């Protein structure tokens, strides 16, 4: 039985490797001279994943007369009497088939004959399938447990057998060791007998048991005492070792040294707990606690240092030293607090003097610097600075409002002749957060006067609209002048730092006071976002008050909704809405829609419509929700009902204009926007629709005028800033366009189209562009603009399958999306599907509203040539007039891998601006890809002189040198790129390849190691490292590098790894493994210089040891 256990374990190991034996029988199990058990004859073995067709081939090979399908036993593979029913029936087998054979062997061991016998093969097969076991002989009793094991293993149904050979072996081993067998059901008498056999001492008598228990207790006590002494000794040794390490080999890094001190203290604490009365243990803990306090004090972790010193003081070893250390700690903590306070004051002083805006990323660096000091004194200093700003804002606000208390002649001319009394009191109450409804009405009248007088002062005419919002905007302008650049920077730094410190106490009150007196929506938005970051009911109440003051259609509300910072969720809206509460319900729905909670807002609009079906405002609000959710058909139906109720509803006309703009019905959208503006000139989005229509018709001055109207209503509205950026792009003014996009994202960081446009404006910094596109897709995974933009990156890098999937998804969301259609046309053209590409291109050209207008201008010459037209005849291919327009066309052509078109565009740009470094760089990049390496080198060398310190230019120059075979120059260019720019794995990988070409193996190895440090999956670096290690004779490392390269390389490159691994193993005298690898390499590679060398090495290492050829 022990030998059968070993055989079962061998079969279990084969199963773990996916191999089934299929011919287990006593003749195939051999026992060696030293008791070892061998499982033989694996000729019928197969892998679990192999198919029945491979069994058919095996039968053909085993057929004695060459006829496929027969073995010695007919059409069966295996031995009758030992094979399971499923194997006899030609079905798939698994590990449980071998379990059946093992059960048959166990049965034969117990009874002396196989379990299934008969006169013919058919009779044996029938008994096997029926599971008919022969009766038990009377003269050969078999233990019930062994019989149960055999019967379970021989079950006809595989599901009733042991699940694995390992489980079968476990039951046999349990029987041999006297433990319970899982396949056998024990009776009570058998349980008692088994217990008696295993524990005979339990039944020897009560006295013996009691005596033995006493001896056991004594022995356990002695053992525990010995173990405690041993543990105390081990703890003392460990504590001493930790202390020696801290004292003799302190880590150079402060954080690592703090870890050493903590480990030493913990070891000393364990020793003290095991030997509480040992004075040496107390002294060791005292010493370790003082050391930890010193290191914690050095790393400015004052709480940890105080805790360590307090533990040392409680030991009573050397209290004087502890008191001295505590005094030094307090002095150091006070000095550090004074230093940190000075650092905060210095940052605030720089902001107040306007020094931050003179440094790149100055304000951002200041916020991060303040974030390093999350302390109460930092909050107090920031709150004091913000209160100083509030006082200046309050003074400017008071001056502006009190100046219009008395009516002027123009006020009286329009019927506004009342003296506004109590303005100062109303302003004071609002500043204190105690405003009354009468105060709000009084201040709105004052704001109306401020707006009227400002427009009269600017001579804008009587037809210009006048509103309280315009008055507040003018007050914000006056406050901006009162603050100056330093005050504006101080307010921004204080608001953002307070929001990021995360300390509510004092910060919420300071931000609330500032928000109540701030009239500029951009600066107020920063304070509101800081309050949202801090969280809490009080903070959210301040934000909601500001939201009502600025209005739900303001840039403040839009920026807050798109910032991604949500306030506490309100309770679910009431189910019952009475008619009197419909206006309040709609107010709440508008607030939810502005906050981005579209589902809850739509539910409230539906409840209001169930009470009042003739509410145009409710129909329009629900249409806005559905428009935001891209349900255009439902939104159009709701707007139709709204305009049927009230044909003069300006918000409904504006919403329908936006809907038709989304549907690319530009003329109808423009007509709706014009009608909405005639009814209400303060419809900001209607101005933007008109601007988009004018931009599509290339009437850019007109589009600029409409955007200016929108910005007058909301100076920092992100959509207005984005529209102005698009106009700048159409005019070829890239820097102003970037500034406008940055302002839009500062107000609304989650604005998807602004993110996409900023990515397009990154030029050839494709990594930065892809980062922006992915950020936009994270905000809205269903954005066609973001999907099409990422597809353009995929096309550039040759990832055509991914690009096709993204474009398919974008066109499913918006079948008329122009960029997606144009890029799909490019993909189809690359696949040779010219007719389909032309159809997609013509469909794209029907659209007039493009996010990136240079895309159709770059593709027009390509498709014009396909249609047999000249460039001027192609629709949309009108020649650019400026160098910037030619540059944009060339950059777009590079993105689409149209190198000839790109070179022509950059030729035109450089003809107009001969020393434009960016154009020279990109023309050189295009010429490298077009195969004109010599001309590319000339361009890129000029570009490096004009664009000093630009790492990507040097990298492209290295590519051009490498294409021309000038590897030394290529290595120098790559090294320059690595020295100048961000550390990129691709640059170091190219540097390693260039040094390898120069036979500089050590330099190639160093560059490859640096590339792998930055990107452990860099395939080029892995290959260069493998080859360099081999040439340097470091064969063991070369073998490991070959393993790594083989794991990462594509299928057609894995053979190279086999060659280097085999050759390295051979030089390490692992000749058998080396020959196996080299033979595998020769099978995969039939030709090449390494094949001949591999064959010579195989011949050399295949010879028996001690025999050498001539």
Residue 709 burial (10 A CB sphere; 0-12, 13-18, 19+): buried
Q: Cα dihedral angle (821, 822, 824, 827), rounded to 10 degrees?
A: 170
Mark 422-453 as b/e (b = at least 16 C-beta within 10 Å).
ebeebbeebbeeebeeebeebbebbbbbbbbb
Distance CA 98, CA 166 (A): 11
Rounded to the nearest 5°, which phi and psi values hold at 7? -65, -40
The answer to whether residue 790 sits within a structural domain is no
* Statement to judge: residues 984 and 1004 lie in one domain: yes
CB 788 within 8 Å of CB 807: yes
Say which DSSP state 44 is in.
Answer: T
89 falls within a domain = yes
Q: Judge contact between 745 and 756, C-beta under 8 A.
A: no
User: What is the chain's alpha carbon radius of gyration, rounded to the nearest angstrom?
Assistant: 42
Residue 229 pLDDT greater than 60, yes or no: yes
Question: With contact defined as beta carbons under 8 Å apart, do 713 and 811 qualify?
Answer: no
pLDDT at residue 72, as a whole number: 43
pLDDT of residue 100: 92
24 and 164 assigned to the same domain:
yes
Tell me what pLDDT residue 384 has.
92
As a three-state string, the secondary structure of 255-285 is HHHHHHHHHHHHHHHHHHHHCCCCHHHHHHH
The predicted structure's pLDDT at residue 458: 61
Angle at 848 between CA 847 and CA 853, to 5 degrees: 110
The conformational region for residue 1069 under phi > 0 = left, psi -120 to 50 = alpha, else beta, is: left
Q: What is the DSSP string of 604-667?
A: HHHHHHHH-TT-HHHHHHHHHHHHHTT-HHHHHHHHHHHHHH-TT-HHHHHHHHHHHHHTT-HH
DSSP 71: B
Does 1031 map to a domain?
A: yes
Judged by DSSP in three states, 25 sits in coil
Residue ending a domain, choose from 528, 550, 572: 550
Measured distance CA(468)–CA(474) in Å, rounded: 10
* Structural domain count of the chain: 4
Instruction: Judge whether 309 lies within some domain.
Output: yes
How many CB atoms sit inside 10 A of residue 206's CB? 7
Percent of residues, the chain, with pLDDT higher than 90: 6
Query: Is 50 exceeded by the pLDDT of residue 71?
Result: no
User: 39-53, 103-117, 545-559, 969-983 — which one is most confidently predicted on average?
Assistant: 103-117
Q: What is the pLDDT of residue 202?
A: 54
pLDDT band at 577 (very low <50, low <70, confident <90, very high): very low
- The span from the CA of 723 to the CA of 727, in Å, is 6
pLDDT tens figures, 231-282: 777 777 777 877 777 777 777 777 777 788 888 888 888 877 877 778 888 8
Q: 896 near 886, Cβ under 8 Å?
A: no
Return left, alpha or beta for 576; rule: phi > 0 is left, psi -120 to 50 is alpha, else beta: beta
Final residue in a domain of this structure, among 550, 571, 587: 550
CB 796 within 8 A of CB 788: no
Q: For position 360, what pLDDT does the model report?
A: 54
Indicate whether 189 and 105 sit together in one domain. yes
Cβ proximity of 774 and 804 under 8 Å: no
Calculate the CA 416 to chain-centre distance.
59
Choice between 515 and 218, residue whose per-residue pLDDT is larger: 515
CB 619 within 8 A of CB 642: yes
Q: How far apart are CA 25 and CA 98, in angstroms?
A: 10
Whether residue 727 contacts residue 736, with contact meaning beta carbons closer than 8 Å, is answered with no
Examine the domain organization and report whether 148 and 46 are in the same domain.
Answer: yes
Distance CA 62, CA 59 (A): 5
Residue 269 and residue 254 in contact, taking contact as beta carbons nearer than 8 Å? no
Dihedral of alpha carbons 682, 688, 694, 697, sign? negative
Average pLDDT for 707-713: 85
Task: Check residue 779 and give left, alpha or beta (phi > 0: left; psi -120 to 50: alpha).
Answer: alpha
Answer yes or no: is pLDDT of 463 > 70: no
CA distance 1001 to 359: 44
Instruction: Look at residue 46 and tell me if it is in a domain.
Output: yes
**Pair 126, 101 in one domain:** yes
Q: Using an 8 Å Cβ cutoff, are 1065 and 1088 in contact?
A: no
Query: Would you say residue 349 has pLDDT above 80?
Result: yes
Does residue 830 surpass a pLDDT of 80? no
pLDDT for res 865: 53
Give the DSSP letter of residue 36.
-
User: pLDDT tier at 70 (50, 70, 90 boundaries)?
Assistant: very low
Query: In the predicted model, is pLDDT for residue 545 greater than 50?
Result: yes
pLDDT for 520 equals 83
Cα–Cα distance for residue pair 518/541, rounded to 1 Å: 16
Least confident of 467-476, 521-530, 563-572, 718-727: 563-572
Partners of 71 in beta bridges: 74
pLDDT digit string, tens, across residues 371-395: 888 888 889 999 999 999 999 888 9
What does DSSP assign to residue 204? S
- Does 238 reside within a domain? yes
- The span from the CA of 880 to the CA of 731, in Å, is 10
Cβ proximity of 765 and 793 under 8 Å: no
Q: Which helix (H) or strand (E) holds 20?
A: strand 19-20
- Average pLDDT of the chain is 80
Task: Please determine, for residue 736, whether its predicted confidence score (pLDDT) is greater than 80.
Answer: yes
φ, ψ for residue 257 (rounded to 5)?
A: -65, -35
**Cα separation of 608 and 594, whole Å?**
18
User: Which range among 102-111, 677-686, 863-872, 917-926 shows the weakest confidence by mean pLDDT?
Assistant: 863-872
CB 894 within 8 A of CB 923: no
* 244 shares its domain with 309: yes
pLDDT of residue 421: 84
Residue 37 bridge partners (DSSP): 31
**Of 179, 198, 217, which marks where a domain is finished?**
198
> Does residue 305 sit in the same domain as residue 451?
no
Collapsing DSSP states into helix, strand and coil, what is residue 139? coil
CB-count exposure of residue 949 (10 Å: 0-12, 13-18, 19+): exposed
pLDDT at 443: 83
Please indicate, yes or no, whether residues 182 and 234 belong to a single structural domain of this protein: no
651 located within any domain: no
Question: Burial code of 336-347, b = ≥16 C-beta within 10 A, e = fewer?
Answer: eeeebbeebeeb
pLDDT (0 to 100) of residue 1026: 92
Check whether 886 has a pLDDT greater than 70.
yes
Q: Is 47 helix (H, G, I), strand (E, B) or coil?
A: strand
The answer to whether residue 798 scores a pLDDT higher than 70 is no
Scanning 981-1107, the segments in alpha helix (DSSP H) are 985-997, 1001-1014, 1019-1031, 1035-1048, 1054-1067, 1071-1084, 1089-1102
274 and 179 in one domain?
no
Count the residues in the chain.
1110
Backbone phi, psi, residue 735, to 5°: -65, -50
Q: Does residue 282 sit in the same domain as residue 353?
A: no
Query: What pLDDT, in 10s, does the model give residues 944-985?
Result: 888 777 788 888 889 899 888 888 888 988 888 888 765 677
Are the C-beta atoms of residues 784 and 942 closer than 8 Å to each other? no
CA angle 742, 747, 749 (to 5 degrees): 75
> Cα angle vertex 44, ends 39, 49, to 5°?
105
pTM for the model stands at 0.43
Instruction: Determine, yes or no, domain membership for 827.
Output: no
Three-state DSSP class for residue 39? strand
Task: Specify whether 193 is located in the same domain as 211.
Answer: no
pLDDT on residue 654: 92
Number of Cβ atoms within 10 Å of the Cβ of 567: 19
Gap between the Cα atoms of 303 and 242, Å rounded:
23
pLDDT at 860: 60
Residues 172 and 218 in one domain: no
CA pair distance 317, 285, nearest whole angstrom? 10
Helix and strand numbers, DSSP H then E, in the chain: 53, 4
Q: What is the reported pLDDT for 467?
A: 65
Structure confidence at residue 573 (pLDDT): 38
Domain with 546, as residue range(s), is 341-550
Q: Is 185 helix (H, G, I), strand (E, B) or coil?
A: coil
The tens digit of pLDDT for each residue in 618-639 reads: 999 999 898 888 888 889 999 9
Pair 512, 384: CB distance under 8 Å = no
* CB atoms near residue 952 (< 10 Å): 22
- DSSP β-bridge partners for residue 39: 29
Compute how many other C-beta atoms are within 10 angstroms of the C-beta atom of residue 913: 16
Tens digits of residue pLDDT in 1045-1093: 888 888 778 888 889 999 998 888 888 889 888 888 888 877 777 888 8
CATH of the domain at 33: 1.10.510.10
Per-residue pLDDT band for 52 (boundaries 50, 70, 90) equals low
| DSSP code for 74 | B
How much is the pLDDT for 54? 61
């Amino acid at each position: 039985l022990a030998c059968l256990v070993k055989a079962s374990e061998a079969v279990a190991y084969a199963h773990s490797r996916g191999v089934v034996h299929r011919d287990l029988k006593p003749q195939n199990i051999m026992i060696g001279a030293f008791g070892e058990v061998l499982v033989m004859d694996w000729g019928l073995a197969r892998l679990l994943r192999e198919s029945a067709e491979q069994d058919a081939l095996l039968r053909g090979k085993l057929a004695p007369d060459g006829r496929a399908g027969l073995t010695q036993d007919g059409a069966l593979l295996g031995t009758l009497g030992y094979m399971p029913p499923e194997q006899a029936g030609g079905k798939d087998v698994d590990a449980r088939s071998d379990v059946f054979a093992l059960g048959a062997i166990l049965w034969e061991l117990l009874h002396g004959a196989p379990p299934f016998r008969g006169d013919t093969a058919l009779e044996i097969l029938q008994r096997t399938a029926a599971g008919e076991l022969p009766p038990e002989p009377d003269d050969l009793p078999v233990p019930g447990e062994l019989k149960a094991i055999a019967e379970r293993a021989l079950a006809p149904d595989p599901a009733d057998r042991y699940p694995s050979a390992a489980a079968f072996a476990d039951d046999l081993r349990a029987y041999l060791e006297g433990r319970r067998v899982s396949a056998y059901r024990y009776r009570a008498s058998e349980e008692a007998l088994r217990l008696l056999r295993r524990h005979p001492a339990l039944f020897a008598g009560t006295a013996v048991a009691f005596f033995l228990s006493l001896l056991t207790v004594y022995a356990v006590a002695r053992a525990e005492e010995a173990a405690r002494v041993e543990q105390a000794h081990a703890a003392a040794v460990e504590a001493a070792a930790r202390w020696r390490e801290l004292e003799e080999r302190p880590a150079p890094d402060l954080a690592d040294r703090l870890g050493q001190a903590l480990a030493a203290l913990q070891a000393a604490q364990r020793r003290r707990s095991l030997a509480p009365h040992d004075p040496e243990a107390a002294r060791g803990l005292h010493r370790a606690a003082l050391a930890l306090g010193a290191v914690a004090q050095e790393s400015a972790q004052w709480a940890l240092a105080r805790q360590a010193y307090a533990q040392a003081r409680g030991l009573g070893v050397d209290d004087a030293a502890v008191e001295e250390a505590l005094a030094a700690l307090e002095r150091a903590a006070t000095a550090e607090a004074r230093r940190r306070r000075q650092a905060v004051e210095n940052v605030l002083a720089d902001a107040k003097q306007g020094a931050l805006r003179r440094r790149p990323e100055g304000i951002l660096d200041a916020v991060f610097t303040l974030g390093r000091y999350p302390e109460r004194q930092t909050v107090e200093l920031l709150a004091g600075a913000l209160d100083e700003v509030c006082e200046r804002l309050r003074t400017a606000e008071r001056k502006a409002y009190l100046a219009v208390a008395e009516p002027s002649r123009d006020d009286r001319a329009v019927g506004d002749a009342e003296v506004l009394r109590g303005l100062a009191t109303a302003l004071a109450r609002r500043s204190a957060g105690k405003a009354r409804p009468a105060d709000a009405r009084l201040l709105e009248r004052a704001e109306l006067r401020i707006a009227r007088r400002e427009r009269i002062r600017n001579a804008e005419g009587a037809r210009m609209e006048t509103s309280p919002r315009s008055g507040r905007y003018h007050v914000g302008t006056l406050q901006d002048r009162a603050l100056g650049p330093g005050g504006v920077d101080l307010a921004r730094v204080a608001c953002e730092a307070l929001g990021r410190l995360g300390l509510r106490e004092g910060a919420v009150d300071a931000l609330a006071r500032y928000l109540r007196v701030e009239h500029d929506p951009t600066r107020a938005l920063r304070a509101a976002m800081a309050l949202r970051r801090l969280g809490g009911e009080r903070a959210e109440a301040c934000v909601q008050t500001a939201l009502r003051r600025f209005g739900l259609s303001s840039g403040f509300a839009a920026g807050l909704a798109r910032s991604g910072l949500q306030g506490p969720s309100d309770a679910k809206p009431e189910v019952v809405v009475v008619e009197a509460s419909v206006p309040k319900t709609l107010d709440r729905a508008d607030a939810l829609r502005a906050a981005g909670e579209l589902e809850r807002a739509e539910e409230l609009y539906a409840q209001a419509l169930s009470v009042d079906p003739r509410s145009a405002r409710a129909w329009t609000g629900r249409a806005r929700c559905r428009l935001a959710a891209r349900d255009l058909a439902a939104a159009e139906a709701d707007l139709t009902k709204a305009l049927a109720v009230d044909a003069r509803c300006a918000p409904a006309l504006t919403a329908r204009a936006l809907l038709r703009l989304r549907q690319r019905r530009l003329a109808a959208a423009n007509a709706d926007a014009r009608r909405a503006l005639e009814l209400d000139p303060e419809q900001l989005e209607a101005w933007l629709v008109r601007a988009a229509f004018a931009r599509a018709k290339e009437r850019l001055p007109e589009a600029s005028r409409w955007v200016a109207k929108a910005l007058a209503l909301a100076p920092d509205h992100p959509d207005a800033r984005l529209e102005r950026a698009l106009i700048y792009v159409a005019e070829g003014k890239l820097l102003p366009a970037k500034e406008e996009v940055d302002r839009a994202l500062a107000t609304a960081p989650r604005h998807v189209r602004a993110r996409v446009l900023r990515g397009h404006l990154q030029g050839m910094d494709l990594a930065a562009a892809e980062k922006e596109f992915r950020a936009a897709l994270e905000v809205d995974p269903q954005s066609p603009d973001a999907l099409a933009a990422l597809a353009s990156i995929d096309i550039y890098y040759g990832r055509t399958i991914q690009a096709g999937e993204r474009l398919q998804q974008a066109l499913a969301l918006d079948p008329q999306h122009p960029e997606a259609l144009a890029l799909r046309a490019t993909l189809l053209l690359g696949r040779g599907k010219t007719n389909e590409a032309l159809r997609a291109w013509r469909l794209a050209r029907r659209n007039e509203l493009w996010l990136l207008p240079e895309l159709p201008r770059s593709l027009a010459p390509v498709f014009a040539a396909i249609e047999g037209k000249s460039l001027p005849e192609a629709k949309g291919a009108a020649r650019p007039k400026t160098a910037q327009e030619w540059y944009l066309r060339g950059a777009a052509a590079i993105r689409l891998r149209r190198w000839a078109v790109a070179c022509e565009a950059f030729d035109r740009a450089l003809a107009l601006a001969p020393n434009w470094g960016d154009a020279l760089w990109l023309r050189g990049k295009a010429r490298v890809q077009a195969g004109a390496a010599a001309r590319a080198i000339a361009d890129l060398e000029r570009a490096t002189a004009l664009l000093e310190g630009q790492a990507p230019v040097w990298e492209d120059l290295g590519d051009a040198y490498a294409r021309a075979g000038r590897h030394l120059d290529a290595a120098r260019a790559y090294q320059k790129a690595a020295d100048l720019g961000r550390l990129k794995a691709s640059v170091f990988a190219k540097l390693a390849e260039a040094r390898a070409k120069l036979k500089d193996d050590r330099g190639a190895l160093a560059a490859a190691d640096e590339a792998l440090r930055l990107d452990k999956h860099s395939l080029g670096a892995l290959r260069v490292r493998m080859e360099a290690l081999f040439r340097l004779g470091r064969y063991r490392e070369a073998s490991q590098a070959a393993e790594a390269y083989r794991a990462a390389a594509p299928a057609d490159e894995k053979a190279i790894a086999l060659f280097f691994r085999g050759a390295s193993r051979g030089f390490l005298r692992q000749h058998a493994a080396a020959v196996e690898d080299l033979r595998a390499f020769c099978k995969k590679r039939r030709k090449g210089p390494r094949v001949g060398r591999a064959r010579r090495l195989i011949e050399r290492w295949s010879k028996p040891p001690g025999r050498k050829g001539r």
